[in-house]
Amino acid sequence: MMPFGMDFAIQGANVRPWNVEFRTRFVYRPRDLGAGPDSRDLGFALTLVSSQAPFDSDLVERQRLSLRPLLAAIRGMDKLGRAIGARFRRRRASDQARSFAAGVSVVIPERDNVAELTACLAALSASARHWDEPVETLAVVNGAADWRYRELQVLYPEVRWQFHAEPLGFGGAIKLGLRRARYDWVYLLNSDVVLEEDALAAAGRHRDPSVFSIASQILLKDATRFRDETNLTSLFIQDGLVITHDLIPRSTRTVEHFYAGGGASLFQTGLLRQFLDAEAYHPFYWEDVEWGWRARKLGYRSLFCAESVARHTQRATIARYFSPAEIETVVERNRLLFQLRNFTTVGSLDAVAEAIARARPEVAGYFVGWPALGCVARGRLWNHVAPASDEEVLAITPSAS
């Protein structure tokens, strides 16, 4: 047991009740480590205590020094970006008339996960029967042999199959799927996700020219796990650094939130093509956060539809190709990259630099050199010419109600 206490200063006489959620970053699952059949999440305090890597002050200082060229370049590109932004601004959503043709494209990125894809396609077929508009399905198979999918091709001849021998990563697969999508709205569906029968129709009812994305509510297929993924998202800044968090829905109302996860959500196809930078967050994670950020920058809304339900097997594909340490490295790298690409007036550039300097070498090493500089420059310049400020984007507060 680890007792703790925290005081919250309350200002004002009329204070509404607070909902406080306790979350953990690290868990221990005996079944995952071959220590028994118990699939509960346990022992987070002990794991948290033991998970800290030894602090190497010499390594941190070397990494801190290696970041100086990047930080100097960022300050230079911000000066240029402010000058360009003063003369040119992108148009807001309210300034653009838009109408949509009936229909939806469903894009499924898939990498050698035939069993999960089989369940995914069966559920999608059932859900499509509740959708009274045209539906097309595009399966982007990458990093897997095409012969493994012959049976599914026979069962689902209406699916438009793509086969690519090399792994494309999430962004790469989505890019190729979007290139062939025919309809104005596209549902991005991970191959390890199963839609409930009304999922497509429920989300589709909220399509509107002012809306960029409509997220389905995610339930975990493993009901013993804590719901750390719901697709009802928030973004905030803590100690100068960006943090994302999934909230627990408290009603069936459709509400505005920050961004829609790329594994079970409906998007405006044209806007998604504009927002997608397929190489930036390779191979996975944080690209969908940027889509939501860019949508808000242009004045579009992102909705969460609790009545559209999808059931997910977490990391069913990537866990077979990447170790937990590799996944966490990618997640941390892309979190810091997101902030460098998008935060021009909020957050703390110094805090990001220090976080990179104190990160494992695999994270810090990414930010040294021309590829990282070009990636950061593309994002920051886009934000400098966006019509809304960082502060306006963060002013919209999602609600779990």
Dump pLDDT digits (tens) for 86-122: 999 888 887 666 788 999 999 999 999 999 999 999 9
Distance CA 202, CA 308 (A): 5
Query: Do 262 and 375 fall into the same domain?
Result: no
| Phi, psi for 151 (deg, rounded to 5) | -65, -40
Number of domains in the chain: 2
CB 142 within 8 A of CB 168: yes
Regarding whether 256 and 214 lie in a shared domain, the answer is: yes
Residue pLDDT, tens place only, 85-96:
999 988 888 766
Shared domain for 212 and 228, answered yes or no, is yes
Per the domain annotation, does 38 fall within a domain?
no
Query: In terms of residue numbers, what domain contains 107?
Result: 99-320
CA–CA distance, 279 with 296 (Å, rounded to integer)? 22
Q: How confident is the model at residue 24 (pLDDT cuts 50, 70, 90)?
A: low
Residues 377 and 72 sit within 8 Å (Cβ to Cβ): no
Mark whether 244 and 389 lie in a shared domain.
no
Q: What is the CATH number of the domain that holds 170?
A: 3.90.550.10
Domain end call among 320, 342, 376? 320
- 182 with 296, same domain: the answer is yes
Angle in degrees, CA 94, 97, 98, rounded to 5:
115
Looking at residue 229, what DSSP letter applies?
Answer: -
Share of the chain above pLDDT 90, in %: 74
Are 180 and 290 within one domain?
yes
Q: Where are the alpha helices (DSSP H) in 88-149?
A: 114-128
Burial class (CB in 10 A: 0-12, 13-18, 19+), 287: buried
Q: Is the residue at 172 inside a domain?
A: yes
d(CA 400, CA 396) in angstroms, rounded, equals 13
Q: Is the separation of the CB atoms in 357 and 364 below 8 Å?
A: yes
Sign (positive/negative) of CA torsion 307, 313, 315, 317? Answer: negative
Specify the pLDDT at position 396. Answer: 73
List pLDDT tens digits, range 39-63: 776 655 443 344 445 678 899 999 9
Q: Which of 285, 320, 355 is the last residue of a domain?
A: 320
166 with 234, same domain? yes
Residues 235 and 118 in one domain: yes
Same domain, 137 and 267: yes
- pTM of this structure: 0.86
Choose the final residue of a domain: 303, 320, 337: 320
Which pLDDT belongs to residue 281?
96
- What whole-number distance in Å separates Cα of residue 272 and Cα of residue 288? 10
Structure confidence at residue 48 (pLDDT): 39
- pLDDT for 18 equals 63
Residues 264 and 127 in one domain: yes
